[in-house]
């Protein structure tokens, strides 16, 4: 990406600028005026014709990774065409642009690398971060997505390959939220890698040293934040795929200092709460009626519980009453107060040892048998952990069990939705973290709701850009979650259809979710006062649509 001013480029340089290039859509007059005669085939196509041709080329690739590479190359060649194609086929292409295919793209980043996109900031350059930020392709930025590549999806440390995550996330900020592609910036903080396969790999493109840790790591993060504050004040900074040991401390350190949020902690939580809100309405119950068992106690799982707890308090429970609705199980069993390995965030949900003293065990099966939960959430990356026995035990005591196997990619899911439906005689209300084939219900195919953060973060970006918010508050994220649930209900969810809105209509849903987020920002005093009508107008004006400039 270079410039967005057509007058600044001509000829081959114009065709090399993905933000300005129209390819075969340049008219004969434009070709003559811009020095393009002879540089393009004679035919002149419309954007629709180009998208149809590009879609056929996309379908010609049989492997998802090859389709991902094709779309990335198209993005690097002609961004308007890329985003027009993506928005036309969002439901089909989302798993290719992002999870699960992006995981393989990250794993093989050094092998499939073609063209630069975004910024790579290495530990050794930490004292020059502000200077390097000035090399960004475009001066005005609305959203930054940053990762250090340490905990990519369920694949672990991918080092510099983690750059595929910010690139993919920002593609969805644009395709769904409508953030102009020139106003997005992916960043990879290269602190090294502890992945020995990468360190010894022949073609690895990252820093060939083990990860920086401790005070040195914190110094790098502080240098980065300070550089962003100095160079891009007011820009939304999204933290993505940081290890559990770093994710929450970073968020706690900076969330009151600048406009920032952690998508793994807050975005995942908002989508889970949105699905749970829909399921609650479908089941005809109240949120405060639920008993929740959560498998996994990392930053994402605790983030989900924190957001649901906030919503429970909004509905009248005390903080302690809300926390008491949860039972957490990790690799070492139930979280209880006598355990010495718990973080302060985990300890909020630890159960009293006396409560479970008579239990036969403290693993997931025993906890489900004792608690008889109405909601079962998985963020453990433990494939198949929701066994038939566990699910049937839950379903015996609950008419409409809510089961959310949220780990991704697909290979890490706690259960297959088809199995969950079969084990519960079709009574389970399901949302998964990765895409799964439709279920067969009463002779028809019913899509499985994918609890993808794409329901939330593009709308949050759109909202804060439109309403000029200075912070991202908990109330804003809860508002996003509730709006997701409302969009699903309006789409006709009845228990046999997904708990989340249809992906095909996400650009429209993003506007409604953004309105809810912006209103919450105004109520929290972190955005200028504005009426709902004014916020809607600002959001509509901010949402970019992929169309060629005339």
Active-site residues: which are they? 98, 169
Residue 115 burial (CB count, 10 A): 10
Collapsed DSSP state (helix, strand, coil) of residue 504:
helix
Q: How many CA atoms lie within 13 A of 506 on its CB side?
A: 28
Q: Quote the strand ranges of 111-203, DSSP E.
A: 119-122, 143-147, 184-190
What three-state secondary structure class fits 201? coil
> CA–CA separation, 515 vs 149, rounded Å?
32
43: its two tokens: 């035919």
Helix (H, G, I), strand (E, B) or coil at 161: helix
Task: Tell me the C-alpha to C-alpha distance, in Å, between residue 546 and each of 12, 23, 126.
Answer: 22, 14, 36
- Residues 360 and 499: their CA atoms lie apart, in Å, by 35
Gap between the Cα atoms of 262 and 311, Å rounded: 19
Main-chain phi, psi angles of 303, to 5 degrees: -60, -40
CA distance 146 to 111: 22
Which of 314, 316, 319, 342 is closest to 329 using CA atoms?
Answer: 342
The two tokens of residue 37 are 């005669």
Phi (first) and psi of residue 333, to 5 degrees:
105, -165
Q: What is the DSSP string of 467-500?
A: HT-S---HHHHHHHHHHHHHHHHHTT--SSS-SS
Whether 292 and 282 have beta carbons less than 8 Å apart is answered as no
Taking alpha carbons only, the member of 398, 406, 417 closest to residue 285 is 398
For β-strands 292-295 and 184-190, DSSP reports them as unpaired
232 CB contacts (<8 Å, ≥6 apart)? Answer: 133, 141, 144, 185
Question: Three-state SS string across 352-391, please?
Answer: CHHHHCCCCCCCHHHHHHHHCCCEEEECCCCCCCCCHHHH
Give the DSSP letter string of 375-438.
EEEE-S--TT-S-HHHHHHHHHT-SS-EEEE--SSGGG-SS-HHHHHHHTTT--EEEESS--PP
CA atoms within 13 A on the CB side of 519: 16
Residue among 66, 58, 238 at smallest CA distance from 147: 238
């Amino acid at each position: 990406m270079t410039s967005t001013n057509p007058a600044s480029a001509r000829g081959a340089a114009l065709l090399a600028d993905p933000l300005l290039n129209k390819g075969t859509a340049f008219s004969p007059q434009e070709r003559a005026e811009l020095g393009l005669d002879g540089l393009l085939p004679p035919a002149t196509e419309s954007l629709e014709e180009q998208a149809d041709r590009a879609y056929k080329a996309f379908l010609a690739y049989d492997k998802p990774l090859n389709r991902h590479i094709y779309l990335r190359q198209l993005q690097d060649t002609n961004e308007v065409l890329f985003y027009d194609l993506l928005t036309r086929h969002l439901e089909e292409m989302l798993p290719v642009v992002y999870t699960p295919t992006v995981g393989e793209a990250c794993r093989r980043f050094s092998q499939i690398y073609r063209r630069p996109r975004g910024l790579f900031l290495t530990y050794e350059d930490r004292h020059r971060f502000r200077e390097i930020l000035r090399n960004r392709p475009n001066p005005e930025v609305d959203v930054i997505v940053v990762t250090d590549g340490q905990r990519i999806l369920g694949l672990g440390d991918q080092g510099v390959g983690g750059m595929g995550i910010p690139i993919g996330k920002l593609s969805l900020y644009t395709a769904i939220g409508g953030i102009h592609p020139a106003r997005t910036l992916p960043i990879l903080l290269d602190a090294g890698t502890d992945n020995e396969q990468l360190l010894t790999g022949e073609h690895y493109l990252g820093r060939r040293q083990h990860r920086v840790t401790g005070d040195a790591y914190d110094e790098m993060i502080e240098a980065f934040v300070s550089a962003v504050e100095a160079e891009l004040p007011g820009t939304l900074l999204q933290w993505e795929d940081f290890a559990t040991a770093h994710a929450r401390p970073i968020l706690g350190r900076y969330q009151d200092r600048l406009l920032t949020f952690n998508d793994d902690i807050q975005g995942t939580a908002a989508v889970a709460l949105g699905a749970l809100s829909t399921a609650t309405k479908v089941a005809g119950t109240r949120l405060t009626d639920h008993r929740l068992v959560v498998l996994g106690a990392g930053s994402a799982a605790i983030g989900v519980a924190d957001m649901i707890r906030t919503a429970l308090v909004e509905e009248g429970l005390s903080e302690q009453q809300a926390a008491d609705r949860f039972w957490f199980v990790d690799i070492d069993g139930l979280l209880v107060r006598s355990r010495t390995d718990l973080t302060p965030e985990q300890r909020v949900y630890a159960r009293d040892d006396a409560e479970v003293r008579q239990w036969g065990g403290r693993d997931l099966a025993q906890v489900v048998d004792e608690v008889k939960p109405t909601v079962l959430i998985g963020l453990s990356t433990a494939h198949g952990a929701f066994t038939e026995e566990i699910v049937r035990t839950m379903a015996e005591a609950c008419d409409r069990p809510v089961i959310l196997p949220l780990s991704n990619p697909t290979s890490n899911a706690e259960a297959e939705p088809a199995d969950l439906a079969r084990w519960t005689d079709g009574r389970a209300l399901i949302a998964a973290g990765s895409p799964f084939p439709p279920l067969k219900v009463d002779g028809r195919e019913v899509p499985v709701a994918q609890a993808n953060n794409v329901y939330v973060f593009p709308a949050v970006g759109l909202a804060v850009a439109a309403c000029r918010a200075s912070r991202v508050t908990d109330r804003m994220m809860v508002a996003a979650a509730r709006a997701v649930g409302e969009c699903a209900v309006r789409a006709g969810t009845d228990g046999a259809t997904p708990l989340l809105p249809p992906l095909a209509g996400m650009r429209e849903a993003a506007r409604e979710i953004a309105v809810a987020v912006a209103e919450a920002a105004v109520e929290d005093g972190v955005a200028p006062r504005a009426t709902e009508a004014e916020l809607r107008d600002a959001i509509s004006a901010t949402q970019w649509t992929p169309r060629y400039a005339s």
